[in-house]
Chain A
Protein backbone atom coordinates (compact mmCIF):
# COMPACT_ATOMS: atom_id res chain seq x y z
CA UNK A 1 0.00 0.00 0.00
CA UNK A 2 2.60 2.51 1.16
CA UNK A 3 4.89 1.42 -1.65
CA UNK A 4 2.25 1.96 -4.28
CA UNK A 5 1.44 5.34 -2.86
CA UNK A 6 5.07 6.47 -3.01
CA UNK A 7 5.21 5.19 -6.54
CA UNK A 8 2.27 7.35 -7.37
CA UNK A 9 3.93 10.44 -5.93
CA UNK A 10 7.17 9.69 -7.76
CA UNK A 11 5.24 9.33 -11.00
CA UNK A 12 3.42 12.59 -10.37
CA UNK A 13 6.64 14.47 -9.63
CA UNK A 14 8.50 13.00 -12.57
CA UNK A 15 5.69 14.28 -14.71
CA UNK A 16 6.80 17.83 -14.13
CA UNK A 17 10.47 17.10 -14.67
CA UNK A 18 11.04 16.67 -18.41
CA UNK A 19 8.89 17.96 -21.20
CA UNK A 20 9.85 15.37 -23.82
CA UNK A 21 8.69 12.31 -21.97
CA UNK A 22 5.78 14.03 -20.33
CA UNK A 23 3.10 12.26 -22.35
CA UNK A 24 4.25 8.80 -21.39
CA UNK A 25 4.72 9.76 -17.77
CA UNK A 26 1.37 11.48 -17.72
CA UNK A 27 -0.26 8.26 -18.84
CA UNK A 28 1.77 6.42 -16.19
CA UNK A 29 0.50 8.79 -13.51
CA UNK A 30 -3.08 8.34 -14.64
CA UNK A 31 -2.59 4.58 -14.52
CA UNK A 32 -1.04 4.74 -11.07
CA UNK A 33 -3.90 6.92 -9.81
CA UNK A 34 -6.45 4.56 -11.33
CA UNK A 35 -4.75 1.60 -9.64
CA UNK A 36 -4.71 3.51 -6.39
CA UNK A 37 -8.40 4.35 -6.75
CA UNK A 38 -9.16 0.67 -7.24
CA UNK A 39 -7.28 -0.08 -4.01
CA UNK A 40 -9.26 2.63 -2.25
CA UNK A 41 -12.42 0.84 -3.21
CA UNK A 42 -11.09 -2.38 -1.68
CA UNK A 43 -9.60 -0.71 1.36
CA UNK A 44 -11.14 2.72 1.89
CA UNK A 45 -8.82 3.40 4.83
CA UNK A 46 -5.82 3.79 2.55
CA UNK A 47 -6.83 7.31 1.44
CA UNK A 48 -4.49 9.80 3.19
CA UNK A 49 -7.35 12.34 3.20
CA UNK A 50 -9.07 10.23 5.83
CA UNK A 51 -6.43 11.21 8.36
CA UNK A 52 -7.63 14.78 7.90
CA UNK A 53 -11.24 13.65 8.22
CA UNK A 54 -10.31 12.03 11.56
CA UNK A 55 -8.60 15.21 12.64
CA UNK A 56 -11.74 17.10 11.57
CA UNK A 57 -13.97 14.88 13.69
CA UNK A 58 -11.80 15.47 16.74
CA UNK A 59 -11.79 19.22 16.09
CA UNK A 60 -15.59 19.27 15.77
CA UNK A 61 -15.88 17.72 19.23
CA UNK A 62 -13.19 19.83 20.93
CA UNK A 63 -14.01 22.95 22.90
CA UNK A 64 -12.10 25.72 21.10
CA UNK A 65 -12.02 29.45 20.48
CA UNK A 66 -12.66 32.40 22.80
CA UNK A 67 -16.01 30.83 23.83
CA UNK A 68 -14.36 27.47 24.58
CA UNK A 69 -17.19 25.64 22.85
CA UNK A 70 -17.26 22.63 20.53
CA UNK A 71 -19.15 22.64 17.24
CA UNK A 72 -21.52 19.92 18.39
CA UNK A 73 -24.42 22.41 18.42
CA UNK A 74 -23.66 23.59 14.90
CA UNK A 75 -26.71 23.17 12.65
CA UNK A 76 -25.63 22.03 9.21
CA UNK A 77 -29.24 22.11 8.01
CA UNK A 78 -30.67 18.92 9.50
CA UNK A 79 -30.71 20.17 13.08
CA UNK A 80 -28.01 21.01 15.65
CA UNK A 81 -25.25 18.42 15.75
CA UNK A 82 -26.60 16.25 12.92
CA UNK A 83 -23.74 15.46 10.57
CA UNK A 84 -24.80 12.24 8.82
CA UNK A 85 -26.13 13.12 5.38
CA UNK A 86 -25.94 16.89 6.01
CA UNK A 87 -23.35 17.52 3.28
CA UNK A 88 -25.54 15.81 0.67
CA UNK A 89 -28.16 18.57 1.15
CA UNK A 90 -25.77 21.52 1.01
CA UNK A 91 -25.60 24.29 -0.13
CA UNK A 92 -28.90 25.49 1.35
CA UNK A 93 -30.56 28.58 2.74
CA UNK A 94 -30.18 29.10 6.50
CA UNK A 95 -32.84 31.15 8.26
CA UNK A 96 -30.57 32.17 11.11
CA UNK A 97 -27.88 33.56 8.82
CA UNK A 98 -30.34 34.71 6.13
CA UNK A 99 -27.95 33.31 3.55
CA UNK A 100 -27.29 30.36 1.31
CA UNK A 101 -24.19 28.53 2.55
CA UNK A 102 -22.01 25.64 1.47
CA UNK A 103 -20.36 23.42 4.06
CA UNK A 104 -17.35 25.69 4.53
CA UNK A 105 -19.31 28.95 4.74
CA UNK A 106 -21.58 27.26 7.30
CA UNK A 107 -18.62 26.06 9.36
CA UNK A 108 -17.19 29.55 9.29
CA UNK A 109 -20.51 30.86 10.60
CA UNK A 110 -20.62 28.26 13.40
CA UNK A 111 -17.01 28.98 14.39
CA UNK A 112 -17.93 32.64 14.65
CA UNK A 113 -21.27 32.25 16.47
CA UNK A 114 -20.57 29.23 18.69
CA UNK A 115 -16.85 29.41 19.29
CA UNK A 116 -16.35 33.17 19.16
CA UNK A 117 -13.69 33.15 16.44
CA UNK A 118 -13.35 36.33 14.39
CA UNK A 119 -14.28 35.74 10.78
CA UNK A 120 -11.49 37.94 9.43
CA UNK A 121 -8.89 35.96 11.41
CA UNK A 122 -10.19 32.59 10.23
CA UNK A 123 -10.31 33.50 6.53
CA UNK A 124 -6.80 34.94 6.55
CA UNK A 125 -4.46 32.37 5.00
CA UNK A 126 -7.17 29.74 5.19
CA UNK A 127 -5.75 27.60 2.36
CA UNK A 128 -2.64 25.47 2.91
CA UNK A 129 0.45 25.78 0.72
CA UNK A 130 1.79 22.70 -1.09
CA UNK A 131 2.83 19.98 1.35
CA UNK A 132 1.20 21.63 4.38
CA UNK A 133 -1.88 19.87 5.77
CA UNK A 134 -5.37 21.27 5.24
CA UNK A 135 -6.30 23.84 7.93
CA UNK A 136 -8.78 23.14 10.76
CA UNK A 137 -11.89 24.33 8.94
CA UNK A 138 -10.96 22.28 5.87
CA UNK A 139 -10.34 19.18 7.97
CA UNK A 140 -13.76 19.51 9.60
CA UNK A 141 -15.37 20.02 6.17
CA UNK A 142 -13.60 16.88 4.94
CA UNK A 143 -15.06 14.86 7.81
CA UNK A 144 -18.55 16.27 7.24
CA UNK A 145 -18.38 15.46 3.51
CA UNK A 146 -17.12 11.98 4.32
CA UNK A 147 -20.19 11.45 6.51
CA UNK A 148 -22.29 11.72 3.32
CA UNK A 149 -20.07 9.41 1.29
CA UNK A 150 -22.06 6.89 -0.70
CA UNK A 151 -25.11 9.19 -0.75
CA UNK A 152 -26.28 11.25 -3.72
CA UNK A 153 -26.28 15.03 -4.00
CA UNK A 154 -29.78 16.05 -3.04
CA UNK A 155 -29.71 19.77 -2.28
CA UNK A 156 -33.23 20.99 -3.04
CA UNK A 157 -32.55 24.49 -4.35
CA UNK A 158 -36.29 25.16 -4.15
CA UNK A 159 -36.34 28.31 -2.00
CA UNK A 160 -36.26 31.59 -3.96
CA UNK A 161 -32.96 32.52 -2.30
CA UNK A 162 -31.44 29.19 -3.35
CA UNK A 163 -32.70 29.53 -6.90
CA UNK A 164 -31.22 32.98 -7.11
CA UNK A 165 -27.82 31.84 -5.84
CA UNK A 166 -27.67 29.06 -8.45
CA UNK A 167 -28.56 31.58 -11.18
CA UNK A 168 -25.83 33.93 -9.91
CA UNK A 169 -23.36 31.03 -9.92
CA UNK A 170 -24.29 30.30 -13.53
CA UNK A 171 -23.75 33.97 -14.37
CA UNK A 172 -20.38 34.02 -12.60
CA UNK A 173 -19.31 30.84 -14.36
CA UNK A 174 -19.62 32.69 -17.68
CA UNK A 175 -18.41 36.09 -16.47
CA UNK A 176 -15.24 37.07 -18.30
CA UNK A 177 -12.85 39.37 -16.47
CA UNK A 178 -9.23 40.11 -15.72
CA UNK A 179 -6.35 40.81 -18.12
CA UNK A 180 -6.72 37.39 -19.80
CA UNK A 181 -10.50 37.74 -20.34
CA UNK A 182 -11.01 34.36 -18.67
CA UNK A 183 -14.22 32.94 -17.25
CA UNK A 184 -14.69 29.48 -15.80
CA UNK A 185 -16.23 28.53 -19.14
CA UNK A 186 -12.98 29.39 -20.95
CA UNK A 187 -11.58 26.18 -19.50
CA UNK A 188 -14.58 24.10 -18.46
CA UNK A 189 -17.21 24.47 -21.20
CA UNK A 190 -16.31 21.69 -23.62
CA UNK A 191 -15.44 18.02 -23.60
CA UNK A 192 -11.88 16.68 -23.65
CA UNK A 193 -9.87 19.91 -23.58
CA UNK A 194 -6.51 20.38 -21.88
CA UNK A 195 -4.33 23.20 -20.56
CA UNK A 196 -0.83 21.87 -21.30
CA UNK A 197 -1.41 18.26 -20.19
CA UNK A 198 -3.98 18.91 -17.50
CA UNK A 199 -7.41 17.61 -18.43
CA UNK A 200 -10.25 20.12 -17.97
CA UNK A 201 -13.58 18.65 -16.84
CA UNK A 202 -16.63 19.96 -18.73
CA UNK A 203 -18.39 21.24 -15.63
CA UNK A 204 -21.50 22.60 -17.35
CA UNK A 205 -22.24 19.09 -18.47
CA UNK A 206 -24.34 17.21 -15.92
CA UNK A 207 -22.68 13.85 -16.47
CA UNK A 208 -19.17 15.30 -16.19
CA UNK A 209 -20.13 17.35 -13.12
CA UNK A 210 -21.70 14.28 -11.49
CA UNK A 211 -18.41 12.45 -11.94
CA UNK A 212 -16.10 14.99 -10.29
CA UNK A 213 -17.96 17.35 -7.95
CA UNK A 214 -18.68 14.60 -5.39
CA UNK A 215 -14.95 13.95 -5.01
CA UNK A 216 -14.40 17.22 -3.12
CA UNK A 217 -12.78 17.81 -0.68
CA UNK A 218 -10.05 15.76 -2.34
CA UNK A 219 -6.57 14.54 -1.51
CA UNK A 220 -4.37 16.12 -4.16
CA UNK A 221 -1.32 14.05 -5.01
CA UNK A 222 0.62 16.87 -6.71
CA UNK A 223 0.44 19.11 -3.62
CA UNK A 224 0.19 16.22 -1.09
CA UNK A 225 -2.69 17.61 0.89
CA UNK A 226 -6.44 17.78 1.05
CA UNK A 227 -7.92 20.61 -0.96
CA UNK A 228 -11.48 21.81 -0.29
CA UNK A 229 -13.93 23.10 -2.88
CA UNK A 230 -13.50 26.70 -1.61
CA UNK A 231 -9.77 26.24 -2.13
CA UNK A 232 -10.39 24.89 -5.64
CA UNK A 233 -12.38 28.07 -6.48
CA UNK A 234 -9.56 30.22 -5.08
CA UNK A 235 -7.01 28.35 -7.17
CA UNK A 236 -9.01 28.62 -10.40
CA UNK A 237 -9.38 32.39 -9.86
CA UNK A 238 -5.61 32.46 -9.35
CA UNK A 239 -5.23 30.93 -12.79
CA UNK A 240 -7.70 33.49 -14.10
CA UNK A 241 -5.34 36.26 -12.93
CA UNK A 242 -7.96 37.52 -10.51
CA UNK A 243 -7.08 38.67 -6.98
CA UNK A 244 -7.39 36.39 -3.95
CA UNK A 245 -10.93 35.08 -3.60
CA UNK A 246 -12.24 35.38 -0.05
CA UNK A 247 -13.20 32.07 1.49
CA UNK A 248 -16.94 31.94 2.18
CA UNK A 249 -17.69 34.92 -0.08
CA UNK A 250 -21.02 35.12 -1.92
CA UNK A 251 -19.11 34.50 -5.15
CA UNK A 252 -17.54 31.23 -4.04
CA UNK A 253 -20.78 29.97 -2.50
CA UNK A 254 -22.73 30.82 -5.68
CA UNK A 255 -20.22 28.96 -7.87
CA UNK A 256 -20.30 25.93 -5.58
CA UNK A 257 -24.11 26.01 -5.58
CA UNK A 258 -24.09 26.10 -9.39
CA UNK A 259 -21.61 23.20 -9.61
CA UNK A 260 -23.58 21.19 -7.06
CA UNK A 261 -26.82 21.81 -8.95
CA UNK A 262 -25.12 20.52 -12.11
CA UNK A 263 -23.97 17.46 -10.16
CA UNK A 264 -27.48 16.73 -8.81
CA UNK A 265 -27.93 12.98 -8.33
CA UNK A 266 -24.18 12.34 -8.53
CA UNK A 267 -22.63 10.18 -5.84
CA UNK A 268 -20.57 11.69 -3.07
CA UNK A 269 -17.20 10.07 -2.70
CA UNK A 270 -15.30 12.34 -0.37
CA UNK A 271 -12.46 12.73 0.20
CA UNK A 272 -11.65 11.88 -3.42
CA UNK A 273 -8.23 11.54 -4.96
CA UNK A 274 -6.89 14.03 -7.49
CA UNK A 275 -3.74 14.45 -9.46
Chain B
Protein backbone atom coordinates (compact mmCIF):
# COMPACT_ATOMS: atom_id res chain seq x y z
CA UNK B 1 0.00 0.00 0.00
CA UNK B 2 2.63 2.43 1.14
CA UNK B 3 5.02 1.30 -1.57
CA UNK B 4 2.49 1.85 -4.33
CA UNK B 5 1.76 5.37 -3.11
CA UNK B 6 5.44 6.18 -3.15
CA UNK B 7 5.89 4.61 -6.56
CA UNK B 8 3.02 6.58 -8.01
CA UNK B 9 4.32 9.73 -6.36
CA UNK B 10 7.78 9.15 -7.85
CA UNK B 11 6.25 8.57 -11.27
CA UNK B 12 4.18 11.73 -11.17
CA UNK B 13 7.18 13.66 -9.87
CA UNK B 14 9.27 12.49 -12.82
CA UNK B 15 6.99 13.84 -15.53
CA UNK B 16 5.59 16.96 -14.02
CA UNK B 17 8.85 18.44 -12.81
CA UNK B 18 10.35 18.27 -16.29
CA UNK B 19 7.27 19.85 -17.89
CA UNK B 20 7.15 22.40 -15.11
CA UNK B 21 10.68 23.76 -15.48
CA UNK B 22 10.35 23.92 -19.26
CA UNK B 23 7.38 26.24 -19.36
CA UNK B 24 8.49 28.65 -16.63
CA UNK B 25 10.17 31.90 -17.62
CA UNK B 26 13.28 32.56 -15.53
CA UNK B 27 12.76 34.84 -12.55
CA UNK B 28 15.56 35.90 -10.21
CA UNK B 29 14.60 34.51 -6.78
CA UNK B 30 16.63 37.20 -5.00
CA UNK B 31 14.54 39.85 -6.73
CA UNK B 32 11.30 38.19 -5.65
CA UNK B 33 12.58 37.88 -2.07
CA UNK B 34 13.38 41.60 -2.03
CA UNK B 35 9.89 42.43 -3.37
CA UNK B 36 8.26 40.31 -0.69
CA UNK B 37 10.26 42.03 2.05
CA UNK B 38 9.01 45.40 0.79
CA UNK B 39 5.37 44.35 0.33
CA UNK B 40 4.72 43.60 4.01
CA UNK B 41 6.19 46.67 5.70
CA UNK B 42 4.21 46.49 8.92
CA UNK B 43 5.29 42.97 9.87
CA UNK B 44 6.08 42.50 13.56
CA UNK B 45 9.78 41.78 14.11
CA UNK B 46 9.27 38.18 15.18
CA UNK B 47 7.37 37.57 11.93
CA UNK B 48 10.42 38.33 9.78
CA UNK B 49 10.98 34.60 9.04
CA UNK B 50 7.57 34.50 7.32
CA UNK B 51 8.95 36.70 4.55
CA UNK B 52 11.65 34.24 3.55
CA UNK B 53 11.65 30.55 2.67
CA UNK B 54 13.44 27.60 4.20
CA UNK B 55 15.15 25.05 1.95
CA UNK B 56 12.07 22.83 1.70
CA UNK B 57 9.79 25.70 0.73
CA UNK B 58 12.31 26.86 -1.86
CA UNK B 59 12.56 23.46 -3.54
CA UNK B 60 8.78 22.85 -3.41
CA UNK B 61 8.02 26.29 -4.87
CA UNK B 62 10.60 25.98 -7.62
CA UNK B 63 9.43 22.52 -8.71
CA UNK B 64 5.66 23.02 -8.49
CA UNK B 65 5.62 20.65 -5.50
CA UNK B 66 7.05 17.84 -7.63
CA UNK B 67 10.76 17.69 -6.74
CA UNK B 68 12.97 15.28 -8.65
CA UNK B 69 13.99 12.18 -6.68
CA UNK B 70 17.27 13.40 -5.18
CA UNK B 71 15.62 16.55 -3.86
CA UNK B 72 12.56 14.65 -2.69
CA UNK B 73 14.77 12.28 -0.70
CA UNK B 74 16.67 15.21 0.82
CA UNK B 75 13.39 16.83 1.90
CA UNK B 76 12.06 13.66 3.52
CA UNK B 77 15.33 13.10 5.38
CA UNK B 78 15.59 16.67 6.60
CA UNK B 79 11.96 16.95 7.64
CA UNK B 80 11.98 13.60 9.41
CA UNK B 81 15.02 14.71 11.39
CA UNK B 82 13.02 17.65 12.77
CA UNK B 83 10.36 15.46 14.42
CA UNK B 84 10.37 15.55 18.22
CA UNK B 85 8.68 12.73 20.09
CA UNK B 86 6.58 12.76 23.29
CA UNK B 87 8.74 12.31 26.40
CA UNK B 88 6.37 9.66 27.79
CA UNK B 89 6.45 7.62 24.57
CA UNK B 90 2.63 7.78 24.26
CA UNK B 91 1.08 8.98 21.00
CA UNK B 92 -2.64 8.92 21.83
CA UNK B 93 -4.06 11.84 23.83
CA UNK B 94 -7.68 12.94 24.42
CA UNK B 95 -10.00 12.63 21.39
CA UNK B 96 -12.45 15.22 22.77
CA UNK B 97 -9.72 17.81 22.86
CA UNK B 98 -8.69 16.56 19.43
CA UNK B 99 -12.16 17.25 18.01
CA UNK B 100 -12.12 20.79 19.43
CA UNK B 101 -8.66 21.28 17.94
CA UNK B 102 -9.78 20.01 14.54
CA UNK B 103 -12.70 22.50 14.58
CA UNK B 104 -10.63 25.44 15.73
CA UNK B 105 -9.24 27.69 13.03
CA UNK B 106 -7.88 30.34 15.35
CA UNK B 107 -4.32 31.47 15.22
CA UNK B 108 -1.30 32.98 13.52
CA UNK B 109 -3.17 35.49 11.34
CA UNK B 110 -2.30 39.15 11.80
CA UNK B 111 -5.72 39.62 13.35
CA UNK B 112 -4.71 37.01 15.96
CA UNK B 113 -1.59 38.94 16.97
CA UNK B 114 -0.54 38.89 19.75
CA UNK B 115 -2.26 35.52 20.33
CA UNK B 116 -5.22 35.56 22.72
CA UNK B 117 -5.61 31.78 22.96
CA UNK B 118 -4.14 28.50 21.73
CA UNK B 119 -3.76 27.96 18.00
CA UNK B 120 -6.11 25.39 16.43
CA UNK B 121 -5.35 22.63 13.94
CA UNK B 122 -8.24 23.52 11.62
CA UNK B 123 -8.21 19.97 10.23
CA UNK B 124 -11.82 20.28 9.01
CA UNK B 125 -10.73 23.08 6.67
CA UNK B 126 -9.15 20.38 4.52
CA UNK B 127 -10.45 16.98 5.70
CA UNK B 128 -13.69 15.12 6.20
CA UNK B 129 -13.38 13.59 9.68
CA UNK B 130 -16.47 13.09 11.88
CA UNK B 131 -19.59 12.01 9.96
CA UNK B 132 -21.54 14.61 11.95
CA UNK B 133 -19.52 17.53 10.63
CA UNK B 134 -20.80 18.45 7.17
CA UNK B 135 -18.77 21.61 6.84
CA UNK B 136 -15.46 20.12 5.75
CA UNK B 137 -12.98 20.94 3.02
CA UNK B 138 -11.51 18.69 0.33
CA UNK B 139 -7.88 19.81 0.00
CA UNK B 140 -6.85 16.63 1.85
CA UNK B 141 -8.24 13.05 1.80
CA UNK B 142 -11.19 11.96 3.96
CA UNK B 143 -10.10 10.69 7.38
CA UNK B 144 -13.40 9.02 8.34
CA UNK B 145 -12.92 5.70 10.15
CA UNK B 146 -9.17 6.33 10.14
CA UNK B 147 -8.35 4.17 13.19
CA UNK B 148 -10.84 1.41 12.44
CA UNK B 149 -9.45 1.00 8.94
CA UNK B 150 -6.03 0.50 10.52
CA UNK B 151 -7.21 -1.94 13.21
CA UNK B 152 -6.19 0.59 15.89
CA UNK B 153 -2.62 -0.68 15.64
CA UNK B 154 -0.12 1.04 17.90
CA UNK B 155 2.42 1.39 15.13
CA UNK B 156 -0.20 3.36 13.17
CA UNK B 157 -0.53 5.89 15.99
CA UNK B 158 3.18 6.64 15.69
CA UNK B 159 2.98 6.99 11.90
CA UNK B 160 0.02 9.34 12.35
CA UNK B 161 1.85 11.40 14.96
CA UNK B 162 4.70 11.82 12.50
CA UNK B 163 2.33 12.72 9.67
CA UNK B 164 0.79 15.54 11.68
CA UNK B 165 4.14 16.65 13.12
CA UNK B 166 5.71 16.88 9.67
CA UNK B 167 3.73 15.86 6.58
CA UNK B 168 6.81 16.21 4.31
CA UNK B 169 8.61 13.36 6.07
CA UNK B 170 6.49 10.95 4.02
CA UNK B 171 5.08 13.07 1.17
CA UNK B 172 7.70 15.63 0.11
CA UNK B 173 6.06 18.99 -0.72
CA UNK B 174 2.77 17.91 0.83
CA UNK B 175 0.18 20.69 0.95
CA UNK B 176 -0.50 19.92 4.61
CA UNK B 177 1.15 22.30 7.11
CA UNK B 178 4.09 20.99 9.16
CA UNK B 179 2.20 21.38 12.43
CA UNK B 180 4.96 20.25 14.80
CA UNK B 181 8.11 21.42 13.05
CA UNK B 182 6.64 24.84 12.29
CA UNK B 183 5.51 25.21 15.93
CA UNK B 184 1.83 25.57 15.07
CA UNK B 185 0.75 22.86 17.52
CA UNK B 186 2.41 21.51 20.68
CA UNK B 187 3.31 17.86 21.19
CA UNK B 188 0.26 17.46 23.47
CA UNK B 189 -2.06 19.01 20.91
CA UNK B 190 -0.74 16.63 18.25
CA UNK B 191 -1.39 13.68 20.58
CA UNK B 192 -4.99 14.87 20.95
CA UNK B 193 -5.35 15.02 17.16
CA UNK B 194 -3.94 11.49 16.96
CA UNK B 195 -6.58 10.41 19.50
CA UNK B 196 -9.39 11.91 17.43
CA UNK B 197 -8.38 9.63 14.57
CA UNK B 198 -7.03 6.57 16.43
CA UNK B 199 -9.01 6.18 19.67
CA UNK B 200 -11.64 3.39 19.36
CA UNK B 201 -13.93 5.62 21.50
CA UNK B 202 -13.69 8.52 19.05
CA UNK B 203 -16.99 8.99 17.17
CA UNK B 204 -15.11 9.04 13.88
CA UNK B 205 -14.43 5.31 14.27
CA UNK B 206 -18.00 4.36 15.19
Contact = CB atoms under 8 A, between A and B. Distances in A.
Contacts of A45: none
Interface string A16-49: 0001101100000000000000000000000000
Contact of A251 (B36, B138, B184): B36
Classify chain B: how many residues form its interface, as a range.
35 or more
A180 B137 contact: no
A177 interface: yes
A179 B65 CA distance: 17
A242 B25 contact: no
B124 A196 contact: yes
A263 B111 CA distance: 31
B3 interface: no
Contacts, number: 134
A163 interface: yes
Contacts of B24: 167, 170
Given A195-B125, A196-B124, A176 B57 contact: yes
A243 B52 contact: no
Interface in A241-275: 241-246, 249-252, 254
B6 to A, nearest CB: 21
A183 interface: yes
A170 B62 CA distance: 11
B177 A243 contact: no
A243 B182 contact: no
Nearest to A186: B175
Interface in B134-179: 134-139, 175, 177-178
Contact of A246 (B39, B51, B137): B39
Interface of B: 24-27, 29, 31-32, 35-36, 38-44, 47, 50-53, 56-57, 60-61, 64-65, 108-111, 124-126, 132-139, 175, 177-178, 182-184
